[in-house]
Every structure is written in C-alpha cells, then in structure tokens.
Chains A and B, each alone.
Chain A
Amino acid sequence: MTRFTVEVLVTPRPGLLDPQGKAIHHALSSLGYDAVEDVRVGKAIYLEVAAATPEDARERAEEMCRKLLANPVTEDFRITAEADGTAP
C-alpha cells in the first residue's frame, strides 16, 4: 500500500448561476483585468488515501464524489492522485 494525496476539484456546472464567480469577475474587472471573460468558483478537497495504485486511489475518490463530495445535480468533479513525496 502506498499513501496517495488525492486532489478533488469540485466545480459548479457551466451555465449554472455562480454568484461568487460573478462577484470575483466584477472585482477583477474593476482592477482592470479586462481579459477575464468568466470566473467560476469551486472547492478543492485533499484526501490522504492508502491504495495499491494511483488508479485505485482515484477510483475510490470517484466513488466518494458520487456519494458525498459533489452534488450530482449542480457540480462536476476532477480527481488527481499523486504518491506522497512525488507531488511538486
């Protein structure tokens, strides 16, 4: 078993009203960052998972996302797994 750091990124579905993203977009525009066309805000969840392979760690995290970490009605998720000590 290896310990993996699994990063789960949970983001609101594109097209869904994201008032936080809108507020940040507005703030960036007023700071002069006109090149920003859209902002969406999600959350990052870090899991320390013992697993045989990175695929195994990812699979488990995917199950956790479907069950709890992400709301299937409103959110998408993305998962990356790095063996501990290999992360930059």
Chain B
Amino acid sequence: MKIAIITFPGSNCDQDCHRSIELAGGSPSYVWHRETSLRGADAVIVPGGFAHGDYLRPGAIARFSPIMDAVTAFGEEGGVVVGICNGFQVLCEAGMLPGALLRNESLSFQSHHCRLRVERTDSVFTSGYRKRQVLGMPLSHADGSYYADAGTLAVLEEERRVLFRYCDAQGNASAEANPNGSLKNIAGIVNARGNVLGMMPHPDRAIEAVLGSVDGLPFFESIVGAVAREEVA
C-alpha cells in the first residue's frame, strides 16, 4: 500500500516517516507540496518540521500549498490522513481537525521524551496497542498547547475522539505530566469520522531500539494494516 508523505519547504521529519512506513511494511513516497495529486496513495502523512518557516502561525501558510486541496478532498472521502507535530498544526489550520495549537505554556521549546496513554484501540491508528497502554516517545515543539473552546472539547470527549493523552509512568493524565499546557492533557485527536488524526508527539522518532523507544512502530503498523485490509475488502 502506497503512503504519501507531503514535503513542504521546512519539513524535517519526512525521512523519519518514510523509514517508519518502510519498517511497518508499507510503500512510502514523497509528494512535494507544489504538486496537486496524491498519485493514487492509500493514505497520507503530513510530517513534522517547520513548513514555510512557521511564519504567521505554524501551518497557516502551509494549508494553502497546492497539494492541500487534494489532501482535504482525500480526507473528506474517508481516506486516512495523519498529521504529526507540524502536520497536526497544518491539519488544524486547514480545518480538517478542530481547535488550535498555541505557544507552549512554559514559552520554551520542549524537546524530550514524554509518555502517552492510549485512550482507545478501536481506531485505524491504535489497533496495535492495548487499551490504556503507556507509550514513550519524543516530542519536539514550541507550539503544542492544544486549545479548543468548551463546546468543542465536550464534543471531543463525548465522541471519544481523544486517542492520546499526556500521562505519567502510571498512566495518570496529571498536570505534572502535561508538557505544554494542552487542555485535558490532549496529545492526539481524530475528526468526527475517525479517519483524520493529529498528534504532537513523534511516533516516527520511536521506531527502532537505537532511538530509545519502539513504541511508535505499532502506530504505523496499525495504519498500514488498516489500509491493506481496506484494499482486500
């Protein structure tokens, strides 16, 4: 199954995502942001980095890149779209996911390992995990504080659209375990249909033992597996 990785000027995790998909058994290919077609891809990843220098607001300019029309249409048709870190910011700016990522509460760039709790496993992104499993993976961002208005937050919780929450080693989503001031310790959410996901931490930087964690690999295996099943069906 072909997985398109969108590359913007300033993307810097496109190669991490490429390697992740390869290790998960999929066929990754890069799609430059000036292109207008996903070339028949079965899923799309918007990787981390600093697309267009993050000028104005992270993702604000990237969302108008030519390829984004195809990404939006693909997502609306039910195609699997993943935004990691800067990719999450792009998908929020594009209106494919609700809310926004604000400057970290601490005002400093956060770059360290964090822990995440898997909130549900009945999704195309998390079927390779156990419910409430605690994952370790890096995060690396200045603007990762998830914000949405109270009404939107209530809908996200009610519809169980939070897939990952920052937590401590015991799996408690405590204030101390919150690295950036995200409301409700939210680290990753999906859209109403469940086919578009955004997350700030980097599963793509936790795929081999040499990186200090392999907890991100099941994330990519879940996606490759789900897309493969769809192809057979």
Number of B residues near A (Cβ < 8 Å) is 21
B103 contacts A19, C-beta separation under 8 Å: yes
Among candidates B148, B149, B181, residue contacting A19 with C-beta atoms closer than 8 Å: B181
List, in ascending order, chain B residues with CB within 8 A of A68's CB. Answer: 56, 60-61, 64
B61-87 contacts to A (CB < 8 Å): 61, 64
B99 contacts A17, C-beta separation under 8 Å: no
**Does B30 touch A at the CB level, under 8 Å?**
no
| Complex-state Cα separation, A69 to B61, whole angstroms | 10
**Does B147 touch A at the CB level, under 8 Å?**
yes
Given contacts A17-B105, A71-B93, 8 further A-B contacts (CB under 8 A): A17-B102, A17-B145, A19-B104, A20-B107, A68-B56, A68-B61, A69-B56, A73-B98
- Shortest Cβ distance from A15 into chain B, in angstroms? 10
The number of chain A residues touching the other chain, given as a range, is 10 to 19
A40-75 contacts to B (CB < 8 Å): 68-69, 71, 73-74
**Does B57 touch A at the CB level, under 8 Å?**
yes
A71 contacts B148, C-beta separation under 8 Å: no
List, in ascending order, chain A residues with CB within 8 A of B98's CB. Answer: 73
